Chain A
Amino acid sequence: MIEITGLTKTFKTSEGVVEALKDVDLSVADGDIYGIIGMSGAGKSTLVRCINMLEKPDSGKVLIDGIDITALDEKALRAQRKHIAMIFQGFNLLMQRSVIDNVCFPMELSGTPKSQAKARALELLDTVGLKDKANDYPARLSGGQQQRVAIARALAMDPTLLLCDEATSALDPTTTNSILSLIKDINIKLGITAVVITHQMSVVESICNRVAILDMGRVVEEGYVEEVFSHPKTEAARKLVFPESSDGGEMIIVSENQQRLIRIVFNGEEATGKPVIAQMAVLKGIEANISYASTRNIGGKVYGSMILGIPGDEETVNEALEYFKSLGVEAQEVKSNV
């Protein structure tokens, strides 16, 4: 259980004082996968670094299983850190050490006998599917493989908590998915609590149970992933959930003489795979033109919006609106998408 209360951190830079975290309260339950999402500069990295005191907060408390980690002296902090594993965006493997010696590194720091450490390291490499690479050097591995080694290394000290700082940001989508499912596996099998820092919605969607949205150093929304993502209340959250729609400048669609626009909003309907737009053409004879669409499938439910160009008059538009209402989809006529 992690309980963060009143966490504040400011940095002095050449351009003045930057408030990285402002009075952050957060709590993460044991065994949870907790996402912290925000734009770059929102303070997410600072926040996760305060959990293992790589960054010392100005004020506030971080309680891990009841121990206030901000109040520990160096020695006690080092002991505590052995239970808090961390994986990084850049993998941070020791490039002059072989894969197995990298996994042995934390055990070496704690004085685990060499033979015992090697045996454990092989076990862990087997878990992440890289047993055959034990004697290779990191430079010969792909990014995904390097992150797997880092995960094996993170598990070496049987941590209770795994901090993931943009752990998949340097990876391609396929590799990202495989790393995320590995983290999920670890969470389920070993019961390790994970805190996942990311700027990618997809990461939170695919593995997190709860999420906090961080904006300008503040937690602006917090809750279960489906709830937060389906009803983003704040501008910051909307920007994350529908990056395109609030972009404004990117693309503006306006109604013209020949076509009128309607906006349809999916608000958590079951994704049935029913081709709504195509069926409208078949059943009602209205051939809509998709001018803009941004939808997401979160936990089997559809969220998002579409702008449809409807050729024709008032009557056709009304007919289309009726059609969507009958399906339980919110729809209204609009003049433009902004």
Chain B
Amino acid sequence: MFERIFESEAVAEALRIVQSEFLMAIWETLYVTILATFFAIVIGLPLGALLVVGEKDGIMPIPGWLLSFLNVLINLLRSVPFLILMIMAFPLTRLIVGTVVGTTASIPPLVLAAFPFIARLVETALREVDRNLIEMAQSMGATPMQIITKVLIPEAVPSLISSMTTAITTILGYTAMSGIIGGGGLGKIAINYGYYRYKYLVMLLAVILLIAMVQTFQSVGTKIAIKSDKRSRK
């Protein structure tokens, strides 16, 4: 399948496509990834926090049935394959965006797939915060809300940044899949040219770009996480 990808004709065509379409595709990928991550965090962060503080012996207990419901919901959404979830989300997508095709239309299913994942990451990060710090804040008369916003989350920041880096790279991978339902970006190019039209060089270039983007997000995220951690003695 790859034996003829470097023939001069194929290379020339690929270069043409790179020039005419890649810049837009990179932009679309970034646009979808960043917006989807943002909305997924908006939903996932409070939800993840609720899973920790809402426990029976947590600082803001919620009814047991509600906690179980949230846990089941999260597990359910996480176990549906993204491709299927995308299709199942059509009614919701139409409700929010007005259409189910196109770049913007790929954001709601991405958010739907990512927020449960982020909620779990947040949950893990917040659970790592020293329980003694919560007790300290309680001993000073902190309200549960103050404990969440001034102790739990700030103390978990380095770990949260690492988690969000994982999330953004995963979402970036998912955006490529949304090419199937007409979402834009590098994924669409890889599928349209590579899978449907056998232009493997174009597909390869799109994939390399996706890898480069994941690498960039990951290394920048890791750097920020390390830098933000005041526990390091440097």
Contact = CB atoms under 8 A, between A and B. Distances in A.
Contact of B141 (A79, A96, A98, A137): A79
Nearest to A92: B136
A160 interface: no
A95 B141 contact: no
A92 B133 contact: yes
Contacts of B150: 105, 108-109
Contacts of B133: 92, 94
A86 B136 contact: yes
B155 interface: yes
A83 B231 CA distance: 30
B32 to A, nearest CB: 32
A205 to B, nearest CB: 27
B205 interface: no
Nearest to B154: A96
Interface residues of A, number: 30
A323 interface: no
Contacts of B158: 96
Contact of A92 (B135, B141, B142): B135
A310 B49 CA distance: 71
A323 B83 CA distance: 97
Contact of A88 (B132, B232, B233): B132
Interface in B132-146: 132-133, 135-143, 146
Given A94-B155, A109-B141, A109-B146, A139 B232 contact: yes
B204 to A, nearest CB: 43
Interface of A: 52, 54, 77-82, 84-86, 88, 90, 92, 94-98, 105-106, 108-110, 137-140, 157, 163
Q: What 7 A-B pairs are tightest by C-beta distance, nearest first?
A: A81-B141, A92-B136, A78-B141, A137-B230, A86-B139, A82-B141, A106-B140
15 contacts: A52-B139, A77-B141, A78-B143, A88-B135, A92-B132, A92-B135, A92-B136, A94-B151, A96-B157, A106-B141, A139-B230, A139-B231, A139-B232, A157-B140, A163-B139
